[in-house]
Structure 1
């Protein structure tokens, strides 16, 4: 009889004790131990068994489980006599940062104190021994007091927190006469939250010092493993760790220790009488590649499919995907165009830097693709090497059907707020109903724009002429270049990309009636958006020119003046030229100036 499939179980001992479905990954213990690396960082996408494997290591090595060898009986590691002898013989410190999802640095620091306190409490038996001084015993108690009253945390110095795990390692070494194994799961969750919520610099400085004391200047450390989704750049938090081995998704070590191989998945499908579903399961959930090993499946989706026996986006739906959503939504027109290529099943070629620098995600588009690859949303099709320095170019595509569906739904939701406001806006624009246009656009802005989307200097001005992109006949953005010498880009990158991309996104439903272009030359400059009717004789399809500007308070007193400036630019630069050449009559050309100030929008026309 097939074993019960338990969803969400991350404790190794509970899975074994309850005889739940488990794919044997215990040889990871031997591989890691024999590699003899002081500190190992292993990055894998979420829901790939990182936490379960870390708990497995704890159950195997920790003195807490010294009489629990039966947990491993029948598993591969128990066939190794040498390893049977070291099971349950090391003091182990186990922590997880998965729950540190704070909106402020102060809260993140408090959460870390709470985690350290729980770690200390798991070794409270030390208080009953004679190996601690009174001052050391008092620290146990004070840490607990601080954690119960977050307002008291201001009394804990950062230096004390930095040294806390180092000190605990010392206490355990005294008690057991043996160095400790430290396991830190989801080390990078605070990094991601800090980037999204705006306290990156503070968390980096804090974490760097904490890691230095915990992993480098810790004389009581035997071995350590950290897991996470991304490899945060060495310069950010690992600058002091010269004893760190980093294993990413492209590394050849531990290729099959996280995730399920195709052989393991197909055997499980046979066992649960789902053999006829193998090909569909492959289309939905295959596609991950670790090192040189292809056809790795996400365990979360496989377990859910076996239990529910229905296809669905289990892995993609198991998180809010908030960071990915924001990066794509607020990205350049070129990034959006590239995403459409991927969603339609195409491939792209990009340089990848596996060291993720979070504070460069908005500046360097390749950093976004690096993050998407590390997070499991993209897979490597092939690698091309170029030049004497062997630069690597990765051919990438969306991982599988589950990921494709996630992005399709994500993009649909951007323009679906439970109403038909976006369609109403376009119809009002074609009809020349300025009042309705302003009403709809401001409603859309309030419902859709966030402070993250429109962040930027107040004095910044959208200058799409500094950007170069074009919407082809399908309405797809197809190219973006930046004037690297322009300081303006640094000020306006968020607002210009967002407003430009957002309005263009509203237009795509009119692809059958219009050729939609952006930032093409016409007359004496570059217009922002032009809609050229495919039937130039149809008076119900006017030719449209749209110019966007963000208010510049040093030059303009109101949105009305900004609108006037936009319309004046259309006239002075003679943007009508391309429409006239296309056969649109002068009287059927309409100009619109868009002025933005945060979530406020004003649209005007020169008619």
Structure 2
């Protein structure tokens, strides 16, 4: 049986269905939302997570295209198939614009819809044009209007770190969206998608009845591909990939899970795969970093700098429920933005104290995120640094931590010293970044044990490396801390060899690793003195 073609990068539901391409059925969510008690809904998900396809699916549904839904869940749920007029606005093209350009862009989006519904005369400003558009369509067709707005925040994200430009563009968007509240009686359904939540945009500051389903357990799998969906819809695709990679079916599932799974948008939640990366992998037969290859958002790196976020603090962050609902432009922490952008996900939730634990979802995100931070530590030596890290990875996989650290020490001698690196924190954070880029291993920084937190732990298929860093002290002291706090006990049931590593830096003269000791499966040590 031939496998169906993958709709990579395709966002039009009708085209996917007409060409009989692979479609993971999300129509039950559409029916549930459209037949609930609300009328206005908002969904936040990371980029390339299927938001646009979901909006397109809704468009076909509300336009009554029954034939496109044959065999899908909604076919057995819907009995009326009423055709409604649908206004579909995508703001994805409104990026990198000044005030005038954005106003022109919105004007053209309105013009497209006006021409589609045969409306020739219209007011001049966007606010009145949207009101006129909705009312005219309602009066002309005798049915309430459906409004679908995809990526509503796209024009704002690139200036979220700019205190001067953000308020100007935000006001433009607020004026565009504000008619939705006044047009309530003419509307059947309103759905908006985005990555973040800007409080001063009127859809959130004025529409007090908008329902945010972003963290609603009933919609945990509305975007992305869950583990059950992968097994149900793509079992043969996994078999095909397994043959290409020369793995078993179960080994392939495990690799796919480590690389692309791990997203949770509520708790408890089904495990959700990044759909863009998963489909690209199944299509190409390569476990690549497709999500990051498609572009790292500039706004996120700028915001990380603005909040002075340390690499070691990215994993294991904690936040209460109110943090996720905080206005993007008035964030006191970067945690909500990292979560909404897909770089952190929910790992646990303590209901008693209303506290979420957040972490990096999977290997693809870990490697891509830390790669984007690497230039902060290696300067112009980034390309050579990545080669060194790849060679270190091979050493570590073979149980040769001595060889890996020697490669790193030799390389660091080539990195120019500057004043802002003459402190312990710089080298500690550099080590976190370097070891986080080692693939395909599991890296944990400051992992909690019953007796404290390890500096770093690194797990390969065979080994667990427990690492303790010291600055101007001794490797014996580092190893003693690992022993005294019994860090190795946390991995007693792993079935893997535990290797203890003490690393010592000199930040005053050498500006490098000066010695280390490796104990456990290995008995080697290195001393530069």
Query: Taking structure 1 as the reference length, what is the TM-score of the superposition?
Result: 0.60
Per the alignment, residue 286 of structure 1 pairs with 261
User: Is contact 2:174-2:200 (8 Å) kept?
Assistant: no
Tell me, in whole angstroms, the C-alpha distance in 2 between the residues paired with 1:31 and 1:311: 35
Which of 327, 341, 348 is the aligned partner of 2:303?
327
User: How many residue pairs end up in the alignment?
Assistant: 406
Per the alignment, residue 358 of structure 1 pairs with 328
Query: Given the alignment of the two structures, is residue 221 of structure 1 paired with residue 222 of structure 2, yes or no?
Result: no
Please state whether the residue corresponding to 1:395 is helix, strand or coil. Answer: strand
Deviation (angstroms), 1:116:
1.6
Query: Given the alignment of the two structures, is residue 255 of structure 1 paired with residue 244 of structure 2, yes or no?
Result: no
Tell me, in whole angstroms, the C-alpha distance in 1 between the residues paired with 2:157 and 2:121: 34
Summarize the Cα distance change of 1:354–1:92 in structure 2 as closer, same or farther, 3 Å threshold: same
Per the alignment, residue 88 of structure 2 pairs with 94
Tell me, in whole angstroms, the C-alpha distance in 2 between the residues paired with 1:382 and 1:59: 37
Per the alignment, residue 52 of structure 2 pairs with 51
User: Is contact 1:98-1:189 (8 Å) kept?
Assistant: yes
Summarize the Cα distance change of 1:253–1:209 in structure 2 as closer, same or farther, 3 Å threshold: farther
Deviation (angstroms), 1:45:
1.3
User: Is contact 1:39-1:215 (8 Å) kept?
Assistant: no
Per the alignment, residue 85 of structure 1 pairs with 80
Unaligned runs of 5+ in 2: 241-248, 386-409, 432-467, 474-503, 513-529
Deviation (angstroms), 1:29:
2.2
1:148-186 Cα shifts (integer Å, max 9, x gaps): xxxxxxxx4xxx211222211111111211110111011
Deviation (angstroms), 1:374:
1.3
Query: Structure 2 matches for 1:126-525, cutoff 5 A?
Result: 126-127=118-119, 137-139=120-122, 156=124, 160-196=125-161, 198-233=164-199, 238-248=204-214, 250-272=215-237, 273-274=239-240, 275-276=249-250, 277-291=252-266, 292-332=268-308, 335-339=310-314, 342=315, 347-351=316-320, 353-361=323-331, 364=332, 366=333, 368-384=334-350, 390=353, 392-414=354-376, 415-417=378-380, 471=424, 475-476=428-429, 515=472
Tell me, in whole angstroms, the C-alpha distance in 2 between the residues paired with 1:310 and 1:428: 33
1:65-116 Cα shifts (integer Å, max 9, x gaps): x5x4211111111123xx24224x1111111111110242222222111222
Tell me, in whole angstroms, the C-alpha distance in 2 between the residues paired with 1:96 and 1:473: 43
User: Is contact 2:181-2:206 (8 Å) kept?
Assistant: no
Summarize the Cα distance change of 1:533–1:36 in structure 2 as closer, same or farther, 3 Å threshold: closer
Per the alignment, residue 26 of structure 2 pairs with 25
User: Is contact 2:343-2:369 (8 Å) kept?
Assistant: no
1:497-555 Cα shifts (integer Å, max 9, x gaps): xxxxxxxxxxxxxx999649xxxxxxxxxxxxxxx98599xxx7599xxxxxxxxxxxx
Please state whether the residue corresponding to 1:85 is helix, strand or coil. Answer: coil
Tell me, in whole angstroms, the C-alpha distance in 1 between the residues paired with 2:288 and 2:154: 26
Q: Which of these two proteins has the greater Rg computed from alpha carbons?
A: 1
User: Is contact 1:208-1:239 (8 Å) kept?
Assistant: no
Unaligned runs of 5+ in 1: 128-136, 144-155, 431-436, 442-461, 463-468, 479-510, 517-531, 544-607
Query: Taking structure 2 as the reference length, what is the TM-score of the superposition?
Result: 0.69
Deviation (angstroms), 1:204:
2.4
Please state whether the residue corresponding to 2:111 is helix, strand or coil. Answer: helix
Please state whether the residue corresponding to 1:253 is helix, strand or coil. Answer: helix
Please state whether the residue corresponding to 2:94 is helix, strand or coil. Answer: coil
Please state whether the residue corresponding to 1:51 is helix, strand or coil. Answer: helix
Tell me, in whole angstroms, the C-alpha distance in 1 between the residues paired with 2:257 and 2:224: 14
Per the alignment, residue 3 of structure 1 pairs with 4
Please state whether the residue corresponding to 1:225 is helix, strand or coil. Answer: strand
Root mean square deviation of aligned Cα: 3.5
